[in-house]
Amino acid sequence: MINQKKFVFIFLILFFSMSIANANIYLGVVEGYIKDINNNVIAGADVTVTLDSCSGGGCSGTAVSQTNGYYVIGNLDTSPGSTVNVDAIKDDLIGFEIDITDEDGLGFVNVTIAKRPDKPTMISTILNRRTVNLYCEPGEDTNIPELPVHVIVQSSPLSNGNFNIYDETGNVSFGSHTWQCRTCNDYVCSDWEFDTFELTNNPPSEPVLIPQEHTEKTDITFNWDSGVDPDGDETYDQFYFNGEITTEESPVTKTELDTYACYIWGVRTCDIYDYCSDWVYDEFTICETDTKVVSRNGARVSYVEIELPSYNLTIFYPNFVLTNDTFKVSVEIESNQDLRELEYEIREYEKGITQLDYFEDVGENKANLEYLFKIDSEEEIEIDFIFLGKKDNYSVIRREFTISAIELDVPETEISRLRIIPIFKPVEPEVIPIPAWIVAIIVTALLLIYYYERRLKRFGFFRR
C-alpha cells in the first residue's frame, strides 16, 4: 500500500502537471526601443502591446523599457501578418506606433515619444439658414525643437448629421450639431476639442379657414388664407378632406358629396423644409330639406317628404365639484334617428382627472349614458369637457361644457366642526396599549409564584 506521504506527493505532481497542460502558452514576441524626438533612449517608459482581431488570452501585454530603452513583451497570440499596436508613455511624453509581424509572427516596433501639442481653437460661423463655415486653428507645439503641427477634424457622434468640415459647408440639417478637432505633430495628438452650433427653422403660422356653413348643396368650394412663414421661406398648403391629405391651393371644390353626413376639412401651411403649422379644422353638414322627387324603375312616382335628423340632447353635470372628489355626468338623448348607429365619447381636456367608469343604455330613439370621474388634483382647476356622438367618424352630436373643481375652505371653529362631524356620531373610547415588556414581567411573576407556591407558604404567604 502507498503510505500517506507518498500519496500526497503523487497528488501534487499530478495537480501541477494538469495545471501546466491547461495553461495557454503563446510564442509571439514584440520587441523594440523607446526614444524621444532627439533620438535619445528612454528608460522606465510604460509600454503596452495590443493585437487587432484577437480575443481570449495572449491579446495584450505590458513591460517597462530598460536603461538602454529596450523592451520585450512575450506570450502573445500572434501569427504572420498580425497587426500590433504599441503605446509608450513616460511622464508627459507619449507615443504610438502600428506595425505588422513577420512570417514567424514576431514584431520589432520602435516608438518615438513626444509632448502633446496644445488644443486647437475652434470657430463656427453661420453664414445663412443652411450654410456654416467651420474653422479650426491648430495649437502650438511644446517640444524642443518645435515640431510642425496639423489638425484633424471630425463630425462628432453627437452630430445631427455628417458634413464636410473646414470650409464652407452647405445643406446642413436644422438642429444642434457638434464637431471636434485636435492638433497633431508627427508623433502624437492633443485631446479632442469640441464645438457646437445650431441651425434653427420656424414653422409657418396657421392658415385661416373661411367656415363652410351647413348646406343642402352637394358641390362644396373650400376657401382659406395660407399661413405666413416668419423666416421668409416659400410655403405650400396641405388640404385634408374625407380622410385624405393632398397638396392644394385655395380654393378647392368637391362635388357630388353624400347627403345626411357631417364632413370635416382642414388645412395646414408648410415651408420648403417640411416644417408645418398645426392643422386647422372646420365641420359642416349636408342635409336636403322639404321634399324631393323619387322614381322607381325609371317611373316618376310622387313627392316624398324627407324627415331631417333631429337630436335632443340634455347633459346633467354639477356646476362645481371638490378637489379629490368623485362626480357623475349624465347624458340623455332623444332622436327620430336610430341612436344605435352612433358611437359616443366624452373627452376631458385637463390633467389631474381620471375616468373611473361609464354606463350606456342605448335604444333606437332614446339613449342614457353615465360617466364617473375622479378629481386627482389638489389644486383648483377648470375642466373642459366635450361630448360627441359620431357616425362613420363624423361628429353629428357635439356639446362642450365646463366644471370647476374647488377646494372647500372650512373655518376651524366648534360650529364648523359640528357641521362636518355629526353630533350623534359615537365617540370611540381611547385604548392605551400596555408595553410588551410589562406584560412579560407580569407573566413571569405569575409563573414563579405558581412554581414556588409551597416554599412561599412557609414564609407566611397564601395563609388564610
Which of helix, strand or coil describes residue 128? coil
Does one domain contain both 154 and 189? yes
Q: Indicate whether 47 belongs to any domain.
A: yes
Residue 73 pLDDT level (bands cut at 50, 70, 90): very high
Is position 304 within any domain?
no
Q: Has residue 289 got a pLDDT over 60? A: no
167: confidence class by pLDDT, cuts 50, 70, 90: very low
Let me know whether 173 and 243 are in one domain: no
Tell me: do 376 and 453 sit in the same domain: no
Q: Are residues 59 and 40 in the same domain?
A: yes
Q: Indicate if 170 and 229 belong to the same structural domain.
A: no
Q: How far apart are CA 36 and CA 42, in angstroms?
A: 7
Q: What is the CATH number of the domain that holds 145?
A: 2.60.40
- Pick the residue with more confidence: 168 or 123? 123
Highest mean pLDDT among 157-166, 172-181, 361-370: 361-370
CA dihedral 15, 16, 17, 21 (to 10 degrees): 110
Please say if the pLDDT value at position 292 is more than 60.
no
Q: Using pLDDT thresholds of 50, 70 and 90, give the confidence band for residue 7.
A: very low
Alpha-carbon span 23 to 2, nearest angstrom: 30
Structural domain includes residue 171: yes
* Averaged pLDDT of the chain: 78
Residue 84: its pLDDT value, please? 96
Same domain as 436, residue 390: no
Domain residues for 464? 432-464
Asked if the model's pLDDT at residue 62 lies above 60, the reply is yes
Share of the chain above pLDDT 90, in %: 37
Read off the pLDDT of each residue in 97-108 and give the average, rounded to a whole number.
93
CA distance 374 to 189: 64
Is residue 176 domain-resident?
yes
**What pLDDT does 81 receive?**
93
Asked if 368 and 326 sit in the same domain, the reply is yes
Query: Mean per-residue pLDDT for 304-325?
Result: 73
Domain assignment present for residue 296? The answer is: no
Whether 391 and 263 have beta carbons less than 8 Å apart is answered as: no
| 286 shares its domain with 337 | no
Asked, for residue 412, whether it belongs to a domain, the answer is no
pLDDT of 68 > 90? The answer is yes
- 361: β partners: 368
Q: Indicate the pLDDT class of residue 450, thresholds 50, 70 and 90.
A: low
Q: Could you tell me if 259 and 323 lie in one domain?
A: no
For residue 256, tell me if it sits in a domain.
yes
Higher pLDDT, 116 or 10: 116
Structural domain contains residue 461: yes
pLDDT at 17 over 60: no
More confident residue, 32 or 408: 32
pLDDT of amino acid 63? 96
Interval 233-275: pLDDT, tens:
999 999 998 888 999 999 999 998 877 677 889 999 999 988 9
Indicate the residue among 261, 291, 321 that finishes a domain: 291
For the segment 403-449, what is each residue's pLDDT rounded down to a tens digit?
A: 888 876 544 444 333 333 333 334 444 445 666 667 677 767 777 66
Assess whether 364 and 446 both reside in one domain.
no
Same domain, 401 and 316: yes
> Residues 335, 373: one domain?
yes
Q: Under a CB-based contact definition with an 8 Å cutoff, are residues 130 and 124 in contact?
A: no
More confident residue, 443 or 223: 223
- Residues of 283-293 as b/e, b for ≥16 C-beta within 10 angstroms? bbbbeeeeeee
Of 406, 421, 448, the domain-final residue: 406
For the chain, the domain total comes to 5
**CATH code of the domain containing 91:** 2.60.40.10
